[in-house]
Amino acid sequence: MAGLNDATRGRLLFGGDYNPEQWTPEIWREDIRLMKEAGVNLATVGVFSWATLEPRPGARNFGWLDEVLDLLHDARIGVALATPTASPPPWLGARHPETLPQDENGATVWYGARNQFCASSPLYREYAQRITTDLARRYGHHPALRVWHINNEYGTHCWCDESARHFRRWLRERYQDLDALNDAWGTAFWSQRYDSWEELIPPRRAQYLNNPAQLLDFRRFTSDALLECFTAERDIVAAHSPSGIPVTTNFMPLFSGLDGWRWAAEEDVVSVDIYPDPAVGRENPAGPAHGALVADLTRSQARGPWMLMEQAASAVNFRGVNKPKGEGLMRLWSLQAVARGADSLCFFQWRASRQGSEKFHSAMLPHAGETSRAFRRIRDLGAELDRLAGVTGTGVSAEIAILHDWPAWWASNQPGRPSAELDYPAILAAWHHALWQQNLTADLAHPEADLSGYKMVVIPQLYLLSDAALDGLAAYVRGGGHIVCGFFTGVADPDDRIREGGTDARLRAVLGLATIEEWWPLAAGETVALDDGTTGSLWSEDLTPAGARAEVSYAAGELSGRPALTRHTYGEGTARYVSTLPEPAALRALLARAAEAAGAAPTLPGAPEGVEAVRRGGLLFLLNHTREPITVPLHVPHSDLLTGHPHAADVRLERYGVAVLSPTPTQGSRTCSTQGEHAR
């Protein structure tokens, strides 16, 4: 199987989406000249080219693409060639409306934008696979080809009749017999029993709350239906290419629509698009924290280096107010991705469009042209990346795992729960943020993963856990592992059936809790006082310990005097439970205490606030996320790969500055280790 090393060939990939069909052949030549000037070595071509490649059913128009790929190759620029199947041409929807998706209300989602396809439509699949086959036959052996890029940001949903038929087939395979389905869905409730497979439909708009297990299965089904589209195209392109060409599809960041663990297992290379909001700065570091979380997740999905397939050179166009990236920010966030495992830095897009819905989205080459400051920044970054060539293929050190899973997310964010304020990705982000802020590097892990290589495992909130996951967690702690477990975890089984006793008995045994009797969610903005002087928000619970020690208790309200945060020794290990969402400083302190007890150390103890420190491939990346210069004390002398300067006792980072430090004086730019560093 091909991997990312085949694509990078020892140099970070640098480039972006390139849409030559929007431009003339004269401009293509200018593009090539400027790409070379900027150090671009990868262009993602063809993402939305279907209507140009197949202007009418069955027609083929490849001449322009032949020329573009040859031009790129002559300039020694590699190509990530995309199958164009994310955006079918209008003729497909006009002639075959059954290929268009329908929403929960049966309303058609029309052409005129993009992504208007029903993943279950046999006709959509047939046309998509035909154009994919012809593309792969023609370019599978093109010397410029480095990566196959399938579709773009899969994530559509469809509730149409064809999807209903497909859903039924999927359900038959999952349950085999209807009694098993009725049991799993709990259809004795509200007279929902199904008497024949034909009665089953996607959870369309109904009079009141849809069946939760049906909603959950529909999420699983939708992810699987899209995955079938991906694997079919993947197999076609792989069959027509040499073995060293990896296949990927670009994920949306922390996206709920696809089961990311299942999807990543089907890819040669995992890639993602990251668009943090540059409007948030030092006071609210949600931008870089988001980037760090998505990077950590993608690295964990990839089990190693990954591709940043898209980011913005400056402003996007999809927020209410779209601020550009201030001087230094594009470089800082790019190098953050490299620090956290990326082997490619690509952008949407190379040249800013003059027409269409994204004409106000920034690009590597903006409307202002090659003399702009924005293009200068791109050129500077391209030049700098040569010095980091040695990091490709190397791993990131992480001693902590954060458990994360999609079905648990899907199930806990449904209506009819104890609180509509519960927002799974926000809770995950809050916990990750608390670790990130103190440079405790973490991987994300599937709840059933082998956790034995991690010193500490944290579970921000996993409402739904399988038996295997619960057994694995118990074994991990029994064998000496340390866990910190957040509220509303282990409540349901994979059918969304509440576990006996309200929270799984195995988990309660690990946590040393007799019962978690009632959930006491808090209203938006409401807080509850805790007896250590801090507060909790979002949630609280009525716990009764059986062996666990209350470290912090509620100090007000109905639960006053009852335990809020507990600690329990189980086997050789320790299990902490957190029944509310502690205020950020308290969550940080709690995780710091737990990490210290577990022997998991921050990357650079004593690093000043605002400085991110990550180790990758034997190098220490220091990133200043503030607008002020910061001096970072070093424990041993280092030299900076980016500047070549030695640093004996400390290093000064300018506003949004970055240092990539090697503990021994560098002889050249390619001295860092190429060994993987996974804790696993």
Please identify which residue in 153, 217, 399, 448 interacts with ligand GAL, judged by CB under 6 A.
Answer: 153
Quote the least distance from Cβ 115 to ligand GAL, whole Å: 10
Burial 178-212 (b: 16+ CB within 10 A, else e): beebbebbbbeeeeeebeeeeebbbbeeeeeebbb
Among residues 358 and 583, whose Cβ is nearest to ligand GAL? 358
Asked if residue 542 lies in contact with residue 517, where contact means CB atoms within 8 angstroms, the answer is yes
Dihedral sign of CA atoms 437, 439, 440, 443 in order:
positive
Q: Which residues are identified as catalytic? A: 153, 310
Burial of 320 (0-12, 13-18, 19+ CB in 10 A): exposed
Residue linked to tokens 């009665």: 199
Which amino acid is present at 33? R
Burial of 86 (0-12, 13-18, 19+ CB in 10 A): buried
Measure CA of the first residue to CA of the last residue in the chain; give whole Å.
Answer: 22
Among residues 361 and 567, whose Cβ is nearest to ligand GAL? 361
Please identify which residue in 152, 241, 301, 362 interacts with ligand GAL, judged by CB under 6 A.
Answer: 152
What does the alpha-carbon distance between residue 203 and residue 592 come to, in Å, rounded to a whole number?
43
Please state the length of the chain. Answer: 680
What does the alpha-carbon distance between residue 522 and residue 4 come to, in Å, rounded to a whole number?
46
Dihedral sign of CA atoms 641, 644, 648, 651 in order:
negative
What does the alpha-carbon distance between residue 193 and residue 199 come to, in Å, rounded to a whole number?
10
Quote the least distance from Cβ 48 to ligand GAL, whole Å: 7
What does the alpha-carbon distance between residue 435 and residue 292 come to, in Å, rounded to a whole number?
11
DSSP, collapsed to helix, strand or coil, labels residue 149 as strand
What does the alpha-carbon distance between residue 47 and residue 79 come to, in Å, rounded to a whole number?
12
What does the alpha-carbon distance between residue 57 and residue 162 come to, in Å, rounded to a whole number?
22
Quote the least distance from Cβ 361 to ligand GAL, whole Å: 5
Q: Does 87 bind ligand GAL (CB under 6 A)?
A: no
Could you list the residues known to form a binding site, using ranges: 114, 118, 152, 158, 160
Among residues 296 and 310, whose Cβ is nearest to ligand GAL? 310
Residue nearest to ligand GAL (CB): 348
Could you list the residues known to form a binding site for substrate, using ranges: 114, 152
Asked if residue 378 lies in contact with residue 336, where contact means CB atoms within 8 angstroms, the answer is no
Q: Does 310 bind ligand GAL (CB under 6 A)?
A: yes
Residues 51-80 binding ligand GAL (CB under 6 A) are none
Residues 354-413 binding ligand GAL (CB under 6 A) are 358, 361
Quote the least distance from Cβ 152 to ligand GAL, whole Å: 5
Residue 10 DSSP label: T
Supply φ then ψ for residue 582, to 5 degrees: -60, 150
Quote the least distance from Cβ 540 to ligand GAL, whole Å: 38
DSSP, collapsed to helix, strand or coil, labels residue 514 as strand
Please identify which residue in 348, 463, 520, 570 interacts with ligand GAL, judged by CB under 6 A.
Answer: 348
Among residues 18 and 261, whose Cβ is nearest to ligand GAL? 18
What does the alpha-carbon distance between residue 555 and residue 543 come to, in Å, rounded to a whole number?
14
What does the alpha-carbon distance between residue 299 and residue 297 come to, in Å, rounded to a whole number?
5
Supply φ then ψ for residue 301, to 5 degrees: -65, -40
Quote the least distance from Cβ 347 to ligand GAL, whole Å: 10
Among residues 275 and 463, whose Cβ is nearest to ligand GAL? 275
Quote the least distance from Cβ 385 to ligand GAL, whole Å: 22
Residues 238-277 binding ligand GAL (CB under 6 A) are 273, 275
Q: Does 630 bind ligand GAL (CB under 6 A)?
A: no
**Count of residues that interact with ligand GAL, criterion CB under 6 A:** 9
Quote the least distance from Cβ 252 to ligand GAL, whole Å: 6
Please identify which residue in 100, 289, 315, 316 interacts with ligand GAL, judged by CB under 6 A.
Answer: 316
Site residues for ligand GAL per CB under 6 A: 152-153, 273, 275, 310, 316, 348, 358, 361
